Amino acid sequence: MKAAQFNEYGGLEVVRVVEIDEPHVGPGQVRILVRAAGVNPSDWKRRDGRYRDFEDVIFPAGFGVEASGIVDEIGEGVLNVSIGDAVFGFGENTMAQYALLTHWAHKPDDMSFEVASGLPVVIDTATRALDEVDIESGQTLLVSGAAGGIGSAVVQLARLRGIIVIGTASTPKHDYLRDLGALPTTYGPGLAERVKELAPNGVDAALDLAGSGVIPELIAIVGNAARVLSVADFSAEEYGAKFSHGPPKNPELIFADVARLCSEGLFRLHVEQTFPLEQTALAQDVSARGRVMGKLVISLD
């Protein structure tokens, strides 16, 4: 089967699409014929070695931690799925023609495989971040990097919880944020003043989703480091803020819930661009530039 891999740390030049043996299920796993796989910043950050101090990578290594597709093998102990079912969820090396999933949910018939493949990471991360930052209905949340995949999920889930959201993004993305239910503003110098105009009574908590070095500024705006959380800046705890990371908690329940919300028209994921497997390197390059609205997806349809 074809799969995207890398044999050493490096830039885009180390990304290869190669022929490898198909994986087969172990206990508690399902194998899918992959229809689409979500692209995440972790793909290129792992490739260029940013995680090497705390994560062992065995070469050759694959890409991708989320996908959607059709179940064609079922492991021992798996009872809630059948051969031929359309599912989406977490797995390993999902940018390939076949992949093993460890956590999954059924894909609704009215959801595309592309959208389904981009949901697991953003919905799990957004749910965890909102839970850990401890914000309640009626309070105001500042989201730095609100137009990306995780940001789009945070805004919508927060609004469903009755939370007021101020989101930072470049000006061309402000209509997109308004449509999701956020009050948009730009990032950069003068953020505190712009936020004050939008929230005269202050901000109760803040999330850093972009890892752009704004933790001290967010703490100053909120006035309490314990109410600031990052999913992207490993230095957050050095300032007294929180850093959120996995492993996922009850992902199957979260996936099933977002599938229901999507079918009811209460949640949506914007897929900005799709790429064939052979353009995995290009997809990572677009992701690394940091201007994506919603998600990028590798399509194997």
CA pair distance 206, 166, nearest whole angstrom? 9
Same domain, 128 and 54: no
Same domain, 127 and 55: no
Residue 222 has pLDDT above 90, yes or no: yes
H or E segment at 32?
strand 30-39
- Decide if 254 is inside a domain: no
- Decide if 163 is inside a domain: yes
Q: Find where tokens 């480091």 sit.
A: 225
CA pair distance 128, 26, nearest whole angstrom? 28
Same domain, 7 and 94: yes
Same domain, 100 and 210: no
What pLDDT sits at residue 16?
A: 97
Residue 291 lies in domain: 2-118+269-299
Same domain, 132 and 233: yes
- For residue 212, the domain's CATH number is 3.40.50.720
- Decide if 248 is inside a domain: no
What pLDDT sits at residue 53?
A: 83
Q: Find where tokens 């300032």 sit.
A: 239
Tell me if the bond preceding 120 is cis, omega within 30° of 0. no
Same domain, 196 and 288: no
- Decide if 262 is inside a domain: no
Number of domains into which the chain is organized = 2
Residue 93 has pLDDT above 90, yes or no: yes
Q: How many alpha carbons lie under 13 Å from residue 278 in its C-beta half-sphere?
A: 1
Looking at the DSSP bridge assignments, the partners of residue 170 are none
Q: What is the pLDDT of residues 151-169, one digit of tens each?
A: 999 999 999 999 999 999 9
Residue 130 has pLDDT above 90, yes or no: yes
Same domain, 47 and 76: yes
What pLDDT sits at residue 45?
A: 94
Residue 246 has pLDDT above 90, yes or no: no
Same domain, 102 and 182: no
Residue 17 has pLDDT above 90, yes or no: yes
Q: What is the pLDDT of residues 98-116, one digit of tens each?
A: 999 999 999 999 999 999 9
What pLDDT sits at residue 29?
A: 98
Q: What is the pLDDT of residues 62-88, one digit of tens each?
A: 999 999 999 999 999 999 999 999 999
What pLDDT sits at residue 31?
A: 98
What pLDDT sits at residue 290?
A: 87
State whether residue 208 is helix, strand or coil: strand
What pLDDT sits at residue 249?
A: 85
What pLDDT sits at residue 56?
A: 86
**Distance set, CA 35 to CA 71, 103, 195, 283, 299 (Å):** 11, 17, 42, 16, 6
- Decide if 214 is inside a domain: yes
pLDDT averaged over every residue in the chain:
96
Average pLDDT over residues 202-207: 98
- For residue 73, the domain's CATH number is 3.90.180.10
Same domain, 143 and 189: yes
Q: How many alpha carbons lie under 13 Å from residue 116 in its C-beta half-sphere?
A: 25
- Decide if 259 is inside a domain: no
Residue 214 has pLDDT above 90, yes or no: yes
Q: What is the pLDDT of residues 168-182, one digit of tens each?
A: 999 999 999 999 999
Residue 270 has pLDDT above 90, yes or no: yes
Same domain, 94 and 37: yes
Q: DSSP strand E in 28-182: where?
A: 30-39, 61-62, 66-74, 86-92, 98-106, 140-144, 164-168
Residue 55 has pLDDT above 90, yes or no: no
Same domain, 205 and 273: no
- Decide if 130 is inside a domain: yes
What pLDDT sits at residue 227?
A: 97
What pLDDT sits at residue 259?
A: 96
pTM (two decimals): 0.95
What pLDDT sits at residue 247?
A: 81
- Decide if 257 is inside a domain: no
Residue 92 has pLDDT above 90, yes or no: yes
Same domain, 178 and 283: no
